[in-house]
Chains A and B, each alone.
Chain A
């Protein structure tokens, strides 16, 4: 029985490319990984947005009408709904002028988790504590 901690570091905006968006969906899949593992084994991702990665999770996105796809906001909300730990870098929020009320929550879906706004030093600590760090 073992838990493997992974840090998913999202550093690119979600609509400019596909990979950073795939970080969210891959992190979400931790919900079903147990079907492929031994009893008691788990994977616990932490999803961290740094740099330009912050630019794709603003509240109020409307990707469905013009593009016919789910928005990154919806993926971020789903992450909160399934109790993923989601972090955004405080210094990068200030750098881009993003305020706390521009970040999404999933209260309307009944989620208990909130996005954590943390100094970069804490994201470094998450990376140090993770067995594997994946950059998207």
Chain B
């Protein structure tokens, strides 16, 4: 089995890319691959806990919790996150907070990297 690292940059609401990235991560984890997810840019908003899953909007929380239960490592860019007014104490449990070098370190040990752009 391989190691897949995904850099996810699009926002939670307003882009189908975010939803696609999480679904793909789940499919890879189900196949037994090691999966790492790095959030940067507008994607970092999705780490806020207590999201209400309305059917007309994408949600991150439910799927992120499921992914982490499968062993997927999820890390958010601390600078991007706090710049959007979200503090670590408000974060979904078990999501890691770190700097951009976390992403590069996961890239180092990855067989495949998918950079999911933001705009």
Contact = CB atoms under 8 A, between A and B. Distances in A.
Contact of B118 (A2, A19, A134): A19
Interface of B: 7, 9, 40-42, 80, 99-105, 107-108, 110, 113, 115, 117-119
A123 interface: no
Given A26-B100, A33-B108, A134-B7, A16 B41 contact: no
A17 B113 CA distance: 22
A32 interface: yes
A32 B41 contact: no
Given A12-B119, A134-B7, A33 B113 contact: no
Contacts of B115: 134-136
Contacts of A2: 108
Contacts, number: 66
B41 A6 contact: no
Contacts of A26: 40, 100, 103-104
Given A18-B41, A41-B108, A36 B119 contact: no
A95 B80 CA distance: 34
A30 interface: yes
Given A22-B9, A26-B40, A33 B104 contact: yes
A136 to B, nearest CB: 6
A88 B34 CA distance: 35
Contact of B107 (A4, A12, A16, A19): A4
A43 B108 CA distance: 6
20 contacts: A12-B119, A18-B41, A18-B42, A18-B119, A19-B41, A26-B103, A30-B101, A33-B101, A33-B108, A36-B101, A37-B105, A37-B108, A43-B105, A43-B108, A45-B104, A132-B110, A132-B113, A134-B113, A135-B117, A136-B115
